[in-house]
Structure 1
């Protein structure tokens, strides 16, 4: 039997959440190739079990592998974003909240961390260092936990 750590965690946190099937391995490899950044191990492991996660509010807590590529490339190429915001080239955006903020991995001297990015102020603030903690907060503390 294959251990499904991420599926089990999400089911424990939110039993009513309908989980998608796993992402294709080629789609996961495409993320690193196209974004030219290493994909954090825990995010790749989650995508191998479930290709995107939504909470009960409909927020895309974790984007699908395909959306990871599309949205990150779009954010890096959007002319208005290039003028208004600090570069996104060192970030891997992977989730959002209906309140506007988006979440991304950033590589620090100590390893990957998860930041929240506010599009109104361009503020980028470290909110957690693990995907597990991020998911627990998303499902147990509701929208706005990252403030």
Structure 2
């Protein structure tokens, strides 16, 4: 399903080998929270997606874990930015802005965190909408 959605938006999208249930469970254990069911479903088909210009539209599972642990625990970020605890990052646009679902309270909506001004703004109603928008447009400013 996810590969078809992505290919419809951008036929040249790149996929990786799927993630098995054990790796998802280990990632959730490491993060201390469950991953959203839509994201798990996508990762069970492909371990991330690379879109236009080599941008990680959806990160591989290992990067999802690493980036979120970093954002949730880096003390320097606490001095520079609002807390990231409510967000679960899963992709970027190649220039520093990152995309996340809201994990507390759990929501399907996708938000962009703009690194230059620390703003967080709604960009898509769910993961399918995000893939359609981000892969169709092709530019790194599709969410403006």
TM over 0.5: yes
* Residue in 2 that maps onto 1:23: 19
Q: Does residue 120 of structure 2 align to residue 101 of structure 1?
A: no
How many corresponding residue pairs? 143
* Residue in 1 that maps onto 2:118: 122
Structure number with higher relative contact order (C-alpha < 8 Å, ≥ 6 residues apart): 2
Structure 2 spans left out of the alignment, 5+ residues = none
* Residue in 1 that maps onto 2:71: 75
Structure 1 spans left out of the alignment, 5+ residues = none
TM-score by length of 2: 0.90
Per the alignment, in what secondary structure is the counterpart of residue 49 of structure 1? coil
* Residue in 1 that maps onto 2:108: 112
* Residue in 2 that maps onto 1:39: 35
RMSD, matched Cα:
1.7
TM-score by length of 1: 0.88
Q: Does residue 3 of structure 2 align to residue 7 of structure 1?
A: yes
Structure 2 CA distance for aligned equivalents of residues 79 and 109 of structure 1: 23
* Residue in 1 that maps onto 2:143: 146
Contact in 2 for aligned 1:107/1:113 (Cα 8 Å): no
* Residue in 2 that maps onto 1:49: 45
Per the alignment, in what secondary structure is the counterpart of residue 41 of structure 2? helix
